[in-house]
Chain A
Amino acid sequence: MFNVAPADQLVLGLATGLAFGFLLHRGGVTQYRVIVGQFLMKDHTVLRTMLTAVVVGAVGVYAMQSAWFTEAVGPVKMHVKNAVVLANVLGGILFGAGMLLLGYCPGTGVAALGTGSRHALSGVLGMLAGAAVYAEVHPLFYGKIQAVCDLGKATLPEVTGLPPWLLTGALAVIAGVLFSVLRGGGTAAGERS
């Protein structure tokens, strides 16, 4: 038999998913036209949501890495993925093309199943097929791609030597400027659902 994680982990995961799915729907990003509208640079809901999440998230998660927090509460583990440059870029290109065709990403596509989107189901079945194909070919070529440039678990503070609070602050300013310059998708009121 395949193993199952402890029950408390499963319950916490489910609770997180309920909250995440609720938020994605309220944000409008479980809608095809909102995702495609972002790529057509007409409705900037996706950028507004993601950049806000990243800035708010960074403030909290980096605060948890600070000496006083670690001393007062205890260490909080980071979950940085390896920067395998060619894999990140090539994967991103395929992902962007696929996301435009489907009109959802994995999280919003699965969430959209609960909102009545039938074509999202076809997309999720496609995702399973894509995962199955990837599992077969990964051992054949991933090593070659990884060999080109693997920076390990690199973060911008490490690479630039700048403190996280400065980078987060800069990101917040850039996001704020983008939010005020870009038109579309800015307010909840008055938009059709």
Chain B
Amino acid sequence: MNWLRQPRWSPYLVGAGIGVLSWITFGLMGKALGTSTTLVRWAGLLEALVDRQHVTANAYYAKYLVSEPAVDWQMMLVVGLPIGALISALLSRSYRVERVPKLWEWRFGPSRAKRYAWAFLGGALLLFGARLAGGCTSGHGISGGLQLSVGSWLFFAAFFSTGVIAAFVLFGKEGRNHV
């Protein structure tokens, strides 16, 4: 069982695995892989702890929390993600605490507060974008891509090209030597 302990598998093997996982979710569960809707549900449920009325009166939240089950298949998928990754990391002994990534430190210094602040902002920006677009790298990128969906391929082209431009603006060509 040596392969279970390898820290990295070929990206083609992993990609094929995700593709076959999609066959199973489409064919046996009637679902498509996705993540970002769950973050809307979590945000809404957390807000509802404080002001339930505000959440149920918001048409966008109500669509995901009132018209549909608030706790559903995809929410459990998202709960499973870190557990599955943890199992893989433990089996392959590659669990590593990372607070400030080396590449970030090279460019922006060792400050944890600075890294956490920008990670927070990046997370906020990307989820806002995902909800505007109607999906993220799983819902649009993988599930939409494999269905040859027009909107999903537009999303893919837009996020990938923006990411590349932003990467060269922020890290520069020299950043390539620090990956």
Residues of A in contact with B (beta carbons under 8 Å apart): 2-5, 9-28, 30, 32-33, 36-43, 45, 48-62, 64, 76-85, 87-103, 105-120, 122-136, 138-139, 142, 145, 151, 153-157, 159, 164, 167-168, 179, 185-188, 191, 193
Instruction: Knowing A20-B18, A20-B33, A60-B22, say if A130 contacts B126 (CB, 8 Å).
Output: yes
Please report the total number of B residues contacting A with Cβ < 8 Å. 136
List 26 contacting pairs A-B, 8 Å CB cutoff, sorted by A. Answer: A2-B48, A2-B69, A5-B71, A16-B24, A17-B84, A21-B84, A23-B21, A26-B9, A33-B101, A39-B164, A49-B14, A51-B15, A53-B18, A54-B19, A57-B22, A58-B147, A61-B22, A81-B135, A94-B126, A96-B158, A97-B166, A103-B122, A126-B125, A128-B46, A129-B123, A135-B43
Are B168 and A40 in contact, with the CB atoms below 8 A?
yes
Are B134 and A81 in contact, with the CB atoms below 8 A?
yes
Chain B 140-155 residues near chain A, CB threshold 8 A: 140-155
Are A126 and B84 in contact, with the CB atoms below 8 A?
no
Are A118 and B12 in contact, with the CB atoms below 8 A?
no
Are A82 and B134 in contact, with the CB atoms below 8 A?
yes
Are B157 and A92 in contact, with the CB atoms below 8 A?
yes
A39, A92, A131: the one contacting B166 at CB < 8 Å is: A39
A100, A139, A186: the one contacting B59 at CB < 8 Å is: A139
Are B8 and A26 in contact, with the CB atoms below 8 A?
yes
